[in-house]
Structure formats: C-alpha cells, structure tokens
A and B are shown apart, each in its own frame.
Chain A
Amino acid sequence: MASITREEVEHLARLARLQLSDAEIDHYAGQLDVILQSVARVSEVAEADIPPTSHPIPMVNVFRDDVVRPGLDREAVAAGAPAWEDDRFRVPRILDEE
C-alpha cells in the first residue's frame, strides 16, 4: 500500500496537534511506513460481504432516564484547570472561526 512521505507525516502531525521537530518527522516517516506496510495485510481477507465489528459484544439500546443529577462543584472543576479566569477556563487566542 501507500508509502508515507514527509509531507504526509507533517499533515498527520498537524491533524493530531503534534508539534514535531524535523528529526522526529524523518524518524516517524520511516517507522510509520514499516508499520503501515505490515498492518496493511488486513485487506487481504477483508471481503466485501463481511460485516465490520465495531463493538465486540453485541448490545443495543442502552439508555438512561432523562433525570437531572448534581455534577461537580465549581471548585473541583477549577482545580485542574491550567488557567482559570472569571469562573471560566482561560485558553489562548483562537485564530480561525469554526
């Protein structure tokens, strides 16, 4: 299957929010290539008529009643925050609107 290029590694790193160094990109490009080639053999037996399994134990319709329960105290919420201001999580500036 595909051979992974340096550009693809950079693209993946951006998608996955990993700020890789140049050395890491080269390193991963080589390793991912080897790993992906070895796992690509799954397609050898993946015939069209075989249903995929997403959940190992088949179960359906697990629901909860629409009932309110108290959550966390705000002190507990704030305790783990790297930055907190005005009862909210403070995060760096956002460049692009979603």
Chain B
Amino acid sequence: MTTTHDTIPFHEAIAAFDPVLGLETHVELGTASKMFCSCPTAFGADANTQVCPVCLGLPGSMPVVNRTAVESTIRMGLALNCQTAEWCRFARKNYFYPDMPKDYQVSQYDEPLCFNGWLDVTVETEDGPRDFRVEIERVHMEEDTGKLTHAGGATGRIHGADYSLVDYNRAGIPLIEIVTKPIAGAGALAPLVARAYVTQLRDLMRALGVSDVRMEEGSLRCDVNVSLARPGEPWGTRSETKNVNSLRSVERAVHSEIERQAAVLLSGGRVIQETRHFHEDTGRSTSGRSKEQAEDYRYFPEPDLVPVAPSREWVEELRGTLPEPPSVKRARLRAEWGISDHDFQTIVNAGALALVEDTVAAGVDQASARKWWTGELTRIANDRGVELESLGVTPAQILRVEELVATGALNDKLARQVFDGIIAGEGGVDEVVAARGLAVVSDDSALLAAIDAALEEQPDVAEKIRGGKVQAAGAIVGSVMKATRGQADAAKVRALLLERLGVQE
C-alpha cells in the first residue's frame, strides 16, 4: 500500500520538466442549514445530533435546495469572472462508501452552475512580483459526507483499523467545488502559484461572506493534480493528491510531487495515474488507490431535484452584492498605505492581507499592523505550522497592545510576551499583562533601587562612568533590564543612571 519513491532536488526536477497543475478545491459554505435539509451546520456538535431523515438518507426522504447556497455559489462564480448557467441540473454521483448516507453524492456533473472564469494571482519572485492568471473551469455545488473515525489497530488510521464509526452531522453540509483549468508555464513557481491561488480563493470567500473558511476545522480541502512534461512535449500522466488541507500544505504537496514524479521519470520509470494521500506531518504523499480501473460513477441527472435556471435579473442582482474585486482592492490598499510593491507582496505572501486590513480598520497604523502580522506573528505561525488566523490574535488585541506601547506601559519585547500569552489561551491583552505581570516598570524609585543595586554589584563599572566613560553605562542598564525582566524602559533607565552619577551625555 505505502510506497515511497526517491526524489531529486526541486531545481533539478524543474530543469528537466515543466509542471502542469490542476486544483480542485472544496469549501464548506457558511450557510445556517444544510444543502438539502434544514439541519444546522454548526461545527463541533455531539455526534449524530444534527441529522434528519434527509441527511441520513432514510428511505423515502427527499432533498430541497438551500437558496442561500445557490446564491453563494453564483456570487463566488461571478467573483471568479465566471459565466452563470442559464439552466443546469444536479447530478447523482454513484459510489458506495459508508460515510455517504445515500451511497450517491448529489453534485453537478456536465452542467455546473458557473463556468469559464479566471483569478489573477501574484507571487513574489527574486525579480519582483509576478502575475499569473489561473483559469477556472467550473464552480459547482454539492454536499459533504459524514465523518469517519477509525477504531482499533495501532494508529487510528484507516489502514489496520478493526472497524469504523460514522457521525453524519457533516453529511449534507453545502460544499462549493472550484476546479481550475490546467495551470501550465509556472515552472519553478508552480508551488507558489498553487499556494497563492488557494490563499486568494480563501480571501475571496471571506470577502464575499460565503464562508469563513475555517481551515483548522477542515472546511477547505484541496485535491492537487500534478503532471510533468518535458519542454515542448505533451503533458504526462497526472497524479491526484487528495485532502491537502492548508495553504502551506498546498505548496508543499505540489513541491514534493514534482520532485517525486521527476525522480520516477528520470530513472526511466512511468508515472501511474493514481490517487495519493498527503501527510501533514511529513509533507509528503503516499500512494493510494490506483486509477487503472477508474471508478465508474454512473452520473445521471438527479430526478428528485428540479433544474436551476437563474434569471439574468437575479444574477445581476447578485453581482451587485459583490465586494471590490481583489486586484482593485489591492491596488487601493497599496496606494492608501503608501508602501512599496515589495512590502505589499510580503503581506500577501504571509496570507495576512485581510488581517492587516482589518487591523488598520480597527485603528492601528499600517506600519504597526504590518510589523506585527508579517513579523512576530508570522514567525510564530510558521514555527507551529498553522495558519496566521488560527493563532487566535484579533485586530482589536493588536490595537490594545499598540495603545499600551504608546502610553509606555508596554514595550515591543513585552508586547511579544503578550501575544505569546494570547496564543497560549491565557486571555486578552489586559488579562495577559496582569497575569504575567508585564507592565513596564516606570516607578522611578523602583528603578533607582535597581540602579543602586547594579552599581553596588559592579563598582568598577560605576567608577568608569563617573570618570566620564559614558559608553560603559550600557552594562548597568543591561543589569537593570535583566533585574526588571525587561519591564523597564531602557532609555529611561539610562537617563536615571546618568543623573544618579551626575554625568552628562
């Protein structure tokens, strides 16, 4: 079952082959009720408490389409510059699987609701930002499956499990599926293009309000298709890597699959058409089901649902609800903030654009907002291998930190500790400050006591300063900062020290 291949370095793979990508992204829509029934969609409920005859697939039950899900899909399609079908149907995709209550998925097949669009993405290169147009094949609606838990066996994974348990709360939650046309010509930038594309899809959905895309809850799932071609030759056999569930993983999955396929081809082997499974822990994929005997889904029009035929008036009405297109918005923000392309791209690459924007909107100046999100917070997110927004830090908290810095109650170093505390779940800014005792020591008598103690410990240094060697003051200031665990304002300590010793700068 699990086969691992040798890989070759990425740059060698790219030197020999052009990668071609295809991305299929499933996102759970943020509707209140499910796609075809009135059960709630809230995450985290007790197992099998958000189900009804329809989403359990009980005999005799019938689906009814959620209007908001249709509208969300059309709006997403419009935002992706797609055409909206004048008439389309749902289709049944037939295959047996215990997480699928009816043993068919209600989806769309040859008549998607939206089709033929594009999304422009920008990636940072050594020569500056570069734009790519990702062509969109289709945007359609479908329903999610239930959730399996594997029991017994050693790993809790499907392989080796003794049996499985099914919770159908997730079954029937509306999904939007966005499929790209083949993305060719990105070369070494392919992994970054893939990541930038999914990042932008996510931002777009949030901006549209069709989904809040909680990635840590698995509400965005990406299937990554990769094939390689020697320059000027036809595209090779593609593999499909399933369940790539974070922005970082999308990049890594493309990267590692290019290396793997190149190794196979360069050693004279053949890439087989197969489904592969991506592992977050290793950043690599393992072989799954071979697609040599492709599953025959026996699609046919869903007879229990009537066609969807959005009137042009309805489509235009929905178009009127679209927010500013991302490219326009970026140009506007860049201008408003007055920053360089490079600085702007740093924000985008960090996946922090919406967060910075929200933080600026909360009242923080753009430089500080950028500093926190693309600096300290990005570093912490990367260390933990999570997305920025799942750190749990809010724009309002950044504003509060900035307020405390402005009044001198915090300094940058302490502010970092405040964020550590927030991320560790210790509460909001003021709670963390209080609990950790992080206020800057501004009481002169406390500082003077610390200065006196330091001078007593280092009489030789004290003598040097008195003798006019002002640069020696640093050692005493350092001791005081250490003694106050960084909670003092260093400039103030220095001033007090010099005053104490009667020395001029």
Contact = CB atoms under 8 A, between A and B. Distances in A.
B is a partner of A = yes
Interface of A: 15, 17, 54-55, 59-69, 71-72, 74, 77-78, 85-94, 96-98
A97 to B, nearest CB: 5
16 contacts: A15-B296, A54-B89, A54-B300, A60-B308, A60-B309, A63-B70, A66-B68, A69-B33, A72-B51, A72-B56, A77-B51, A91-B163, A91-B164, A93-B164, A94-B158, A97-B158
Given A66-B66, A89-B166, A97-B289, A61 B277 contact: no
B69 A66 contact: yes
B39 A68 contact: yes
B148 interface: yes
Nearest to B152: A93
B288 A91 contact: no
B339 interface: no
A64 B165 contact: no
A15 B277 CA distance: 24
A68 B66 CA distance: 11
B288 A55 contact: no
Interface string B41-77: 0000011111111011000000011111110000000
Contacts of B161: 93-94
B401 to A, nearest CB: 38
Interface residues of B, number: 59
B289 A87 contact: no
Contact of B303 (A54, A62, A71, A86): A54
A43 B355 CA distance: 59
Contacts of A63: 64-67, 70
Interface of B: 31-33, 37-40, 46-53, 55-56, 64-70, 87, 89, 96-98, 148-151, 158-159, 161-168, 242, 275, 277, 288-289, 296, 298, 300-301, 303, 305-310
A8 B309 CA distance: 39
B343 to A, nearest CB: 41
A14 to B, nearest CB: 10
Given A65-B68, A66-B66, A66-B68, 19 more contacts: A15-B296, A17-B96, A54-B89, A54-B301, A60-B306, A61-B310, A63-B67, A64-B65, A64-B66, A68-B40, A72-B51, A78-B48, A89-B168, A91-B166, A93-B161, A94-B158, A97-B242, A97-B277, A97-B289
A60 B53 CA distance: 24
A94 B38 contact: no
B39 A71 contact: yes
B32 A86 contact: no
Given A54-B301, A64-B64, A87 B39 contact: no
Nearest to B37: A71
Nearest to B31: A66
A68 B51 CA distance: 11
Nearest to A63: B67
